Structure 1
Amino acid sequence: MNRWYVQAESVSHHLSSPVLRHTSLKPSYACIKSIRAYFASIPRPVKDEELIFVGDRLLTDVVMANRMSRRAPPSPSNPFDSSTEKNLSHDFDELTRPARVGPLAVWTEGLWKRENLLLRALERGMLKGAERWVLKPQEIAWRDSLQHRFVKPIPVVEEVAKEGAASSSASASSPSPPPSAPASNTPNTPSGAKKSIWSRFVPADAQDSAKSASSFRKIVALAKPERKPLGTAIGLLMVSSAVSMSVPFTIGKLIDFFTTSDPQIPFGLSLGQASALLLLLFTTGAVANAGRAMLMRLSGQRIVARLRERTYEASLRQEVEFVEKGEGDVLSRLSVDSSIVGESVTQNLSDGLRSIVMASAGLGAMFYISPTLTLLMLTVVPPVSLGAVFYGRYLKKLSNRTQEALGDMTKVAQESLSALRTVQAFNAAGQEQEKFHQKVGTVLTLARKEAIASGIFFGATGWSGNVTLLALLGYGGTLVSKGAISVGDLTSLLLYTVYVGSGLQMLTSFFASIMRGIGAGVRIFDLLDRQPAIPPDAGVEVDPSRRGPIRFEHVWFEYPSRRSVQILKDLNLEVAMGESVAIVGASGSGKSSINALLMRYYDPVKGKVTFDGQDIREFNSSSWRNIIGVVPQDPILFTGTIASNIAYGNPNATREQIEAAAREANCEFVWGMPHGFDTEIGRASLSGGQRQRLAIARALLKKPVILALDEATSSLDATSEHRVNDAIDKILRARQTTCLIVAHRLSTIARAERIVVLEGGCITETGTYRQLVNKEDSRFRHLMAAQLNAAAGESLHGGLAMPSSAPPKVEATPAEQEHRA
């Protein structure tokens, strides 16, 4: 077995968390999670062959895990069994479904049409049992042509083959690796075959059907809280439908009453009594219909409101990377998809039930009047029903694509409108309009397809209905002339035909709307069911009074969206309790990533971040962030009062606490405003320096154990910078808060007790400000040369910066002197 595990390990080595280990197999969900993380990291845009290659690799891992699971009995080390195979198949479909657009469609539609020689080589190795996996020269050349596109090399499988050959003599006495599945179950696929290897396990259609059924069940479950109003509405629907279905019968009897020589009214009623009874009956139907419409509409709105709240809550629980990468798509699910799903549960359900009642009651009445004419009418039902099924399925697929296109369109609009000043500053309105025009064009193309399909379908059903009416009129007229039925009966039957046709048409629309709702529901439930990579509620609570050092221990990090770029490499950093450390480096060196890891926006790829000796991944991330105050480079202010913005992280703070925090952060400008702390502000109502000081006040109000400053003064003028630095000084002098300061400005850096210099994701030097700036070959002096020269020039030449080849040496800063004291 071990040789097979080693072989599988070589296949999975490029994943951040390997699918298989030497001693055990991971559960299927862990397998899929690992693959999903790698799949999401592939940068866009990339070429078709790259995507197909990645797809083949992912497929390889899943198939390998599946086949190996069949070779060992289920046990704690091998959790796979026959029932788990279906879950694995479903998970893989979940993994690839969002990517089945654009270039990846090439892979999903025709895996075997491309030169996926590496996958075929693996398949040979799996299908031929003990035969070792040896690549042909052509396969090696193809693999090497793609080698440079991945940071981590593709496993050198020929080395595994050599290892197997070298160990063959040693393994002769030991049991050989278990053979593959029987050849009858896993036949070789010819190189020219179009059949996907994955279709051997579960056909894609079956997977789509299972997912649609699951989405439909979840949509129906949304109506449970509205059982009483919906039940009442359905009862009123039955009443109004019964009244409506009595109209054709009544009209037929009235015609017979006025056209026969011996008119009779049922139940021995007079004409006036019958008219009054009909008026009461129709009024009852109208009232029932009005009640039904109101109850359905109100229930639908409540369902949509709850669904939007759940979707928004699920969005806020996701990791930062997921939401920032698909912000427009999340907004589309919140607005458009939620409305479609809500209508599917209420209005469409009401229309569907109404159409079923109309069609059923109408058919019953028609059979009562004339079975012959009814059977003639029913000849049109099978082709119309078949067309409705195909139309509904097509509409469901089209709906999915339309919602995704709407999400892309929303994303483009939101990006440009949120950066309107930049758009106008660069006169880029034209190119933004062009980008939006392309996205709108995609939506319009899909809408055009839907309009064409709807026109064809409803035109065909309308034509078939009219032809049916003409046939009924012709044959019914013959029956009337023979005295088989009366004129009133024929009229009633024709009206019931219209009712039944209308009911069937409504049923078709209901089916199409349900398909659209299922398509939208899949997108919403994907988000609701998604487990965030960093769960906000999992882990132990952090005691707010807890204190201790922060350590970055052998941390490696890369952003999920840029797996090809290593941001931090084997980083080791310790920040003592109450210490202030400035992190300095060129742009892209990984400074802000340290704060991102500290806040657990991301987790390290390798290594760990600890607080008081405990890995922060063991903490509840919500409670962990409660003890951290953050001042970002570009603080965000929310619509509301100044007081509510300062109290954003502590909504229960008193006015005295808010004012104290503002005073500590040098927010003296607030007292000069007309309404003081009750002044209404928006996202860009204040200057950069004012926003920064409010952000500091917001952070201080939390009384944080740790304070993370990320370029807090990088975009401020000299006056604002001085005031913000004064506020930072107050925090540092108190020495009650551990501070990590990411900065470029010398005035901010010099206030820290210790400076850490990053370069290429590694720490190149560390020390106090005086130590680094007085060191001749210091990397810090090189980075700060321009600012040090400017500072020296201003002091010696009345503000004129004089160039110098070597920055001046300086004495200890006040912060260092105070620290030593």
Structure 2
Amino acid sequence: MGGQPAEKSMNFKGSSQRLLRELRPERGIVALVLFLATGSVALSVLGPKILGHATDLIFAGVIGRMLPSGTTLAEAVAGMRAHGQGKLADMLASMHGVIPGKGIDFHAVGVVLLWVLLIYVGAAAFGFVQARIATRIVQRAVFRLRKQVEEKLAKLPLSYFDRQPRGEVLSRATNDIDNIAQTLQQTLSQIVASLLTIVGVLTMMFWISWLLALVALVTVPVSVVVATRVGKRAQPQFVAQWKTTGKLNAHIEEMYTGHSLVKVFGRQRESAAIFREQNQALYEAGFRAQFISGTIQPAMMFIGNLNYVLVAVIGGLRVASGALSIGDVQAFVQYSRQFSQPLTQVASMANLVQSGVASAERVFELLDAAEQEPDPAPEEAPRPEVVRGQVEFKGVSFRYEEDKPLIEDLSLAVKPGQTVAIVGPTGAGKTTLVNLLMRFYEVTGGRITLDGVEIAGMSREELRSNIGMVLQDTWLFGGTIADNIAYGVEGATRERLVEAAKATHVDRFVRTLPDGYDTVIDEEGSNVSAGERQLITIARAFLAEPAILVLDEATSSVDTRTEVLIQHAMNQLRAGRTSFVIAHRLSTIRDADVILVMESGQIVEQGTHEDLLESGGAYAKLYAAQFAEPVAEAG
């Protein structure tokens, strides 16, 4: 940890290929981008050659004015040879367009420069259109990737989120995808243009002089070796960088969500120390990744300068020998720059590509995570016409880990309309039992039936549409109070909503708010009290009118007076409905039809409140621990 390199480097080749496959739906537009890029590069490559012709015209004019008027070029060359100026004569003989006594033909030079201007304008226009289309391609690909992640999150089982910090998941869905978008945006079109430029420039260089082209190619293997070795050293650092980013985001998300608890228990210093440690780890991993990959560009520039020097020296010698014109050498020098520039660009983009592929692998790990088991085919999932709420556990076994059994051979029969209270010490399996009924987890043995139909043969949507759940930890969504109450019922009328609010005593505090049911609350519900948040979630379940109710310590955040009111409302709601009530406060379950006492995943006692007290078993001890002993001490 601490930003150290990952033990194994990521599958760079496989992940990069998979990332590129995200562009398949845009194949036609990608072809257009390649065509435009080819046109832009072709015009850009053609420019130096034509510009070299303008240099030849200017140089020919300068030399022609220096020669005596009235003579021919052949006579001037012969005169130089006669005076022992053989090399100068060879260079003059290779030049075209030299007219003794005539200066620079500015008209011809102007025509050439106009053509160069048109060519470069055309290249820029092609490049502009290509960049705009490439941007659209990238944004569409990232849009689809975000959609895949969103759909994947909905298919993942609850166990996945139990194992992963929420901040880590959010980091993959936000930071990593943003990094992929930035990488594709900055590299896709540029890499294509750079590779085409390398091919085009290399072609022109061999056309002008194969010898100078071979000289320019001498530095290419060196560039490849440098870029490859530096890239291999940088890649593990990018993996560590984004891994540490996920850990840091997870810590920040936890500390922000629980900032009140952090302050109450005086853990600010410890929290800040953990942040500093992880922030330092991210700094070190990021510094190493960027520094190592950043050395590619200066190394490539150094190699490019060596190439420039070799081309300039050998090109000058070729001009002196008459093998090349000065315009060709000028064009070749420009081509050598154009040749080294895309190599440098490709190498300098290596850090972006490595960082983006590292993020892509993290996103692909999320997309490849094991999904929850698919629902059965419709014909295999018979749906009861009217759900009565008869629930039966038959020899149910469950374990979170293979070698640690939690529930073993548990059997339970609940009649329609019964209220079943589940009590027991922490870790006894109370909430697990309800999670199995909701199919948040799948049983490892036995079966659970609803009205005689095995729930494993029902779709999750069908099963859960008949169950209303109120958790101990309230969760509200950003929006109005009315939106939160109506969350589970699509198209609920305001009249039904208000009736549910009145039944759960939400109406009495909502009407004291300035905007009433249109009061906007955030996800944390910071503008309403904990008890009021709990009441809103209970009203949400009331409005859904489910056949089965699951109440997981639903009144834990409500004051005593409100608890009494809620109990009366629950008695009305539970009429004719099967209810499972998980409770630690035994005063809330005295009227339950059946009380189950669980210990270590087993039902050790069951019966009514009075029967269990009379038996003097585990329930009686729990009851005494909550009420009898404190009362005795108070007396």
Structure 1 range deviating more: 757-766 or 332-341: 332-341
Q: CA shift at 1:702, angstroms?
A: 2.2
Q: CA separation of 1:394/1:727 partners in 2, compared to 1, >3 Å: closer, same or farther?
A: farther
How far apart are 1:269 and its partner, in Å? 6.9
The question of 1:316 aligning with 2:146 is answered no
1:137-178: CA deviations, max 9, x gaps? xxxxxxxxxxxxxxxxxxxxxxxxxxxxxxxxxxxxxxxxxx
Map of 1:726-737 to 2, 5 A cutoff?
Answer: 726-732=568-574, 734-735=575-576, 737=577
Instruction: Return the offset for 1:716.
Output: 2.5
Distance 1:674 1:366 in 2: 78
Aligned pair 1:676/2:516, yes or no?
yes
Equivalent in 59, 65, 72 of residue 259 of structure 1: 59
Does residue 702 (structure 1) correspond to residue 544 (structure 2)? The answer is yes
Shift of 1:272: 4.2
Q: Encode CA deviations 1:181-236: one digit per residue, 9 max, x unaligned.
A: xxxxxxxxxxxxxxxxxxxxxxxx9xx76xx5553443223113333443333332
1:635 alignment counterpart: 474
Alpha-carbon offset, residue 268 of structure 1: 12
Is 1:286 the equivalent of 2:86? no
Aligned to 1:783: 622
1:589 matched to which residue of 2? 428
Q: Indicate which of 785, 794, 803 corresponds to 2:633.
A: 803
Question: Which residue of 1 is the match for residue 605 of structure 2?
Answer: 765
Contact persistence 2:300–2:347 (CA under 8 A): no
Structure 1 residue 531 corresponds to structure 2 residue 370: yes
**1:605 has 2:405 as partner:** no
What residue in structure 1 maps to residue 69 of structure 2? none
Structure 2: how far apart are the matches of 1:480 and 1:103?
53
CA distance in 2, matches of 1:245, 1:572: 80
1:748 aligns with 2:580: no
Alignment match of 1:235 (pick from 32, 35, 59): 35
Alignment root-mean-square deviation, CA: 3.0
Distance in 1 of aligned mates of 2:35 and 2:466: 55
Distance 1:699 1:543 in 2: 22
* 8 Å CA contact retained: 1:688, 1:716: yes
Q: Residue type of the partner of 2:568?
A: D
Within 2, Cα distance between the matches of 1:516 and 1:356? 21
Contact in 2 for aligned 1:409/1:436 (Cα 8 Å): yes
Q: Which moved more, 1:254-263 or 1:568-577?
A: 254-263
Tell me, yes or no, if the aligned pair for 1:581 and 1:754 is still in contact at 8 Å. yes
What's the offset of the Cα at 1:739? 0.3
Q: Percent identity?
A: 30
| 1:691 Cα offset (Å) | 1.4
Matches within 5 A, 1:68-79: none
1:298–1:322 distance in 2 versus 1, CA, 3 Å: same
In the alignment, which residue of structure 2 is the partner of 1:506? 345
Q: How big is the shift at 1:239?
A: 2.6
SS at match of 1:755: strand
SS at match of 1:252: helix
CA contact (8 A) 1:337 1:520 kept: yes
Q: Give matches, 1:17-96, under 5 Å.
A: none
Letter in 1 for 2:598: L
CA distance in 2, matches of 1:274, 1:686: 77
Separation in 2 of the partners of 1:534 and 1:676? 43
Alignment partner, residue 550 of structure 1? 391
Q: Deviations over 1:706-727 (max 9, x none)?
A: 1100011123321232232232
Distance 2:531 2:219 in 1: 74
Count of equivalent residues: 590
* Normalised TM-score (structure 1): 0.67
Q: Which has the higher contact order (CA 8 A, sep 6+)?
A: 2
3-state SS of paired residue (1:499): helix
* Residue segments in structure 1 that go unaligned for 5+ positions in a row: 1-98, 110-204, 794-800, 806-821
Distance apart, 1:541 and its partner CA: 6.6
Distance in 2 between residues matched to 1:316 and 1:381, nearest whole Å: 49
The 8 Å contact of residues 206 and 213 in structure 2, kept in 1 or not, is answered as yes
1:577 shift after superposition:
1.2
Conserved? CA contact 2:241–2:289, under 8 Å: no
Amino acid at match of 2:498: E
What are the superposed Cα offsets for residues 655-703 of structure 1, whole Å, 9 maximum, x if unpaired? 3332232223221122332222221111223212211221112112222
Call closer, same or farther: CA 1:696–1:242 in 2, change over 3 Å: same
User: Alpha-carbon deviation of 1:545?
Assistant: 2.8
Of 673-682 and 576-585, the range deviating more from structure 2: 673-682
Alignment partner, residue 195 of structure 1: none
Please state how far the C-alpha of 1:591 moved relative to its aligned partner.
1.4
Q: Tell me the TM-score normalized by structure 2.
A: 0.85
Deviations 1:436-481 (A, max 9, x none): 2222222222222223322433332222211121122222222222
Amino acid at match of 2:269: G
CA 1:697/1:470 → structure 2, altered by over 3 Å: closer, same or farther? same
Partner SS, residue 260 of structure 1: helix
Could you tell me which amino acid in structure 2 is paired with residue 333 of structure 1? R
Unaligned runs of 5+ in 2: 65-95, 99-104
Measured after TM superposition, the shift of residue 527 of structure 1 is 2.3
The alpha carbon displacement at 1:513 in A equals: 4.4
Residue 300 of structure 1, CA deviation: 1.3
Does the 8 Å CA contact 2:202/2:213 hold for their aligned counterparts? yes
Give the secondary-structure state (helix, strand or coil) at the position aligned to 1:527: helix
1:537: how far off?
A: 7.2
Going from structure 1 to structure 2, the CA distance change for 1:660 and 1:537 (only over 3 Å counts) comes to farther
3-state SS in 1 of match to 2:126: helix
- How much does 1:740 deviate? 0.2
State the distance in 2 between where 1:500 and 1:587 align.
70
Which residue number in structure 2 is paired with residue 798 of structure 1? none
Q: Alignment partner of 2:581: what SS?
A: strand
Question: Do the aligned partners of 1:252 and 1:492 also contact (CA within 8 Å) in 2?
Answer: yes
| 1:296 alignment counterpart | 134
- From the superposition, tell whether residues 572 and 243 of structure 1 become closer, same or farther in structure 2 (CA, over 3 Å): same
Give the 3 Å change call, closer, same or farther, for CA 763–104 of structure 1 in structure 2: farther
Structure 2 counterpart of 1:42 = none
Query: 1:544 offset after TM fit, Å?
Result: 7.0
Which of residues 559, 562, 566 is equivalent to 1:717?
Answer: 559
- Structure 2 Cα separation of the partners of residues 761 and 628 of structure 1: 23
Give the equivalent residue in structure 1 for 2:70: none
SS of structure 2 residue aligned to 1:583 = strand
1:623 maps to what in 2? Answer: 462
**1:599·1:625 contact (CA, 8 Å) conserved in 2?**
yes
CA distance in 2: counterparts of 1:245 and 1:458, whole angstroms: 23
Given residue 337 of structure 1, which amino acid in structure 2 is its aligned partner?
D
> How far apart, in 1, do the equivalents of 2:390 and 2:356 lie?
52
